[in-house]
Structure 1
Amino acid sequence: MFDTDSLLKLAKLTYTSQSVFRILFFLGKFKVHKDLKTTKKEIEKLNIDLKDWIDKDTDLKIECEREGNHDFRSVDTASVLAGIIKKKTGHENFTFKHPDLIIYIYINNNQGYIGIDFAGKNLSKRQYKIFQSRNSIKATLAYSLIRISGFSKNKLLADVFSREGIIPIEAALFTQDYPVNFFTKHELIFTKLKPLKNVDFEDFFKNIDKNIKKTKREIYAVDALLKYVKFSKKNAKIAGVLDAISFSKKEMEWLDLKFDKTEVDCIVSYPVQMTKRRNKKEIKKLYNEFFYQCEYILKDKGKIVLLSKDSKYLEEEGKKYKFKVEKKREVYSGMMKYLVLTFVKE
């Protein structure tokens, strides 16, 4: 949570942010119990004031996301809040389709939060992700890896396991100040909110979009499979950043022909993982070649940021070429646990 002095600042963040799932205007928090009856009493204690947000014609929707073990469902909590609002305000226009306002409930174990949803959708999803691989990662996770690497304008970033291009595309959106909701701006629900009814949103979006920058091709999407190179190009075109990325089909052992010695600032990738079809020997050989190439193409103060389900073989092969793990993080994407490994030259 953070303070803001302007609803338009929240609207701008909703339009441009690459790292969020939801953006809510905070209404209140409550204690969550195992059972619904006691939880309802906690919600009833809240003094939620909606007079600035709804009138009798406002179509209102209530959504709930819940994490943890409880003896009730998310939809039960939404129904409880709807009943409380109806009793306190007399409001009767509740809908599941095309709402003017969404009140969002987020429950995390024994703590609950209620807020006005500024997007009306899951902001971690991207409209450009049409062509996907089996092991696709969320765009918000890809963006986080990019920021961990220290990548910025005028630096060179390479993803050498690019698959469908999520990491390079997010990097291009970042350096170009390209709003991730550029093509879906008029679907964002903040454009319908009562407190913002006098805002000229055409002018609002225009003032943000004028800051989009055209950058040189210093982002590289490299993969050994031609179909993934094609996927990357198609997705980048949909995202509006095709001209900001250089695409290449290259086997790992030929990377030193693609890049000059110590040319690359950041290598950010989700490497191929060990599966039933890829055994330990094959994976170790691939990782060995990867670090051998990185030793040549990465700048002395450059960083490698890798997402992986296991770190053992990456750390073993990295040591052979004097790469050490500067930091290891545990992250979750849904229920999937990953490790984020930051390698630097010793």
Structure 2
Amino acid sequence: MGKVTLIATATMGLEALVAREVKDLGYQDVQVENGRVTYTADESAICRSNLWLRTADRVKLKVGEFKAFTFDELFEKTKALPWADLIPENGEFPVVGKSVKSKLFSVSDCQAIVKKAVVESMKKKYKSSWFSEDGPLYRIEIALHKDVATLTIDTSGTGLHKRGYRYLHNQAPLKETLASALIMLTNWNADKPFIDPFCGSGTIPIEAAMIGQNIAPGFNREFVSEKWGWIGKDNWDNARMEVEDVANYDQPLSIFGTDIDHRMIELATNNAMEAGFGDLIKFKQMQVTDLRTNQDYGVVVGNPPYGERLGEREEVEVMYKDMGALFREELKTWSVYILTSNENFETLYGKPASKRRKLYNGNLKTDYYQYFGPRPKRNNEE
């Protein structure tokens, strides 16, 4: 196949992080746009990207991109693309779609036209008038934006936030991809202690452990493109071998998660065991105002209640005030990172953030308040 063009989709606000991850994998031809990062590489990049990208939503194979103002134009230009080089004769190829600010605004019509065009293109190659579609899955997407049509095939299957360890979760779980992003936006490394005082089902501590031991987030799951013949079993075997070779399972970590709800502690403990960190991450039931530690220069990452529901706001705001007072007294050398939609957080916490970053938790607009702790003293410093 040679070179392929991939699109790693990203939640708004995380594109730069995804681009950094792509470059860290060794891919340099990287373009960053709203909601996506595009790059060119060989087939093995499909395997490595799916296994390693912590903050991307999914990885798509770009088949073609062109302007389309009419249905005829969409049909002919889609038909001209090399579908039979990618989809086998028995491949299953449903078509999904979206359209934003485009003349071709009927998504269902666009999907039907693309499906028909792909069939016509494959008929030519396979000399067949009917396709059983009982083989591997190749989910095609037609995305129209300002009359530019982008055609892709999804290589991930289930979204990349599905790591395979979280079978159970609380009612409003933080996506694993966002949890990883929150950690990667801090100054934490495996040598520092780490605390999540609102751990819920344990997602942030588990993602921290995976980062700390350099464990690929996709090591424990499957991807739809593993069944694609043209990628080759060797590419997948080599990519999974690399995952094992570079993981540092012996790296000691100090990761602690707390939550006021004992059911969440039980849930987090079970999820950590499923992820292979049962003995590594410590969980304890407590309210945030009871948090104490004798460790220095650590990192707190928290996704506390936001007070969005009626009747909760006052209680949450009191908790923010108490948390700020406690952290300033007990965690003087620590860096603190808090995600919330409460626009008065800095006032309630009692201190302006060193830095703020706008992020989306699902559809909810939030701010990531970052409080940088002091730099650890060197041995020769007083």
Give 2:363's match in structure 1, choosing from 332, 335, 339. 335
| Offset of residue 94 of structure 1 | 6.2
Q: Does 1:3 align with 2:39?
A: yes
Unaligned stretches of 5+ residues in structure 1: none
Q: Give the whole-Å Cα distance in 2 for the aligned partners of 1:179 and 1:54.
A: 28
Other structure's SS at 2:299 match:
strand
Q: Which runs of structure 2 are paired with 1:169-318 in the superposition (5 Å)? A: 169-185=206-222, 188-197=223-232, 199=234, 201-214=236-249, 215-256=251-292, 259-260=293-294, 263-274=296-307, 275-280=309-314, 282-298=315-331, 300=333, 302-312=334-344, 314-318=345-349
Letter in 2 for 1:307: L
2:189 aligned residue: 152
Kindly indicate whether the alpha-carbon contact (under 8 Å) linking 1:63 and 1:75 is maintained by their aligned counterparts in 2. Answer: no
| Offset of residue 101 of structure 1 | 2.9
Other structure's SS at 2:205 match:
helix
Q: Give the whole-Å Cα distance in 2 for the aligned partners of 1:250 and 1:182.
A: 32
Kindly indicate whether the alpha-carbon contact (under 8 Å) linking 1:63 and 1:102 is maintained by their aligned counterparts in 2. Answer: yes
* 1:45–1:32 distance in 2 versus 1, CA, 3 Å: closer
* 1:127–1:142 distance in 2 versus 1, CA, 3 Å: same
Letter in 2 for 1:87: E
1:41 aligned residue: 73
| Offset of residue 18 of structure 1 | 1.5
Q: Give the whole-Å Cα distance in 1 for the aligned partners of 2:233 and 2:320.
A: 57
Identity %: 19
1:86 aligned residue: 119
Give 2:168's match in structure 1, choosing from 121, 131, 134. 131
Q: Give the whole-Å Cα distance in 2 for the aligned partners of 1:297 and 1:76.
A: 61
| Offset of residue 25 of structure 1 | 2.1
Q: Give the whole-Å Cα distance in 2 for the aligned partners of 1:123 and 1:109.
A: 28
Structure 1, residues 84-114: CA drift from partner, whole Å, max 9, x if none?
A: 112223164364x763433333445654422
Kindly indicate whether the alpha-carbon contact (under 8 Å) linking 1:165 and 1:236 is maintained by their aligned counterparts in 2. Answer: yes
Other structure's SS at 2:40 match:
coil
Paired residues, number: 329
| Offset of residue 330 of structure 1 | 2.5
Q: Give the whole-Å Cα distance in 2 for the aligned partners of 1:124 and 1:75.
A: 28
1:13 aligned residue: 49
Q: Does 1:61 align with 2:93?
A: yes
Kindly indicate whether the alpha-carbon contact (under 8 Å) linking 1:266 and 1:303 is maintained by their aligned counterparts in 2. Answer: yes
| Offset of residue 167 of structure 1 | 1.0
Q: Give the whole-Å Cα distance in 2 for the aligned partners of 1:297 and 1:10.
A: 46
Q: Provide the aligned C-alpha RMSD in A.
A: 2.8
Letter in 1 for 2:347: E
* 1:285–1:336 distance in 2 versus 1, CA, 3 Å: closer
Normalised TM-score (structure 2): 0.76
Q: Give the whole-Å Cα distance in 2 for the aligned partners of 1:110 and 1:243.
A: 53
Q: Give the whole-Å Cα distance in 2 for the aligned partners of 1:107 and 1:156.
A: 46
| Offset of residue 115 of structure 1 | 2.0
Letter in 2 for 1:114: L
Other structure's SS at 2:46 match:
helix
Q: Which runs of structure 2 are paired with 1:109-120 in the superposition (5 Å)? A: 110-120=147-157
Q: Give the whole-Å Cα distance in 2 for the aligned partners of 1:293 and 1:130.
A: 34
| Offset of residue 27 of structure 1 | 1.6
* 1:114–1:334 distance in 2 versus 1, CA, 3 Å: farther
Other structure's SS at 2:47 match:
helix
Q: Give the whole-Å Cα distance in 2 for the aligned partners of 1:132 and 1:23.
A: 25
Letter in 1 for 2:254: E
* 1:76–1:165 distance in 2 versus 1, CA, 3 Å: farther
Kindly indicate whether the alpha-carbon contact (under 8 Å) linking 1:288 and 1:318 is maintained by their aligned counterparts in 2. Answer: yes
> More deviation in 238-247 or 97-106?
97-106
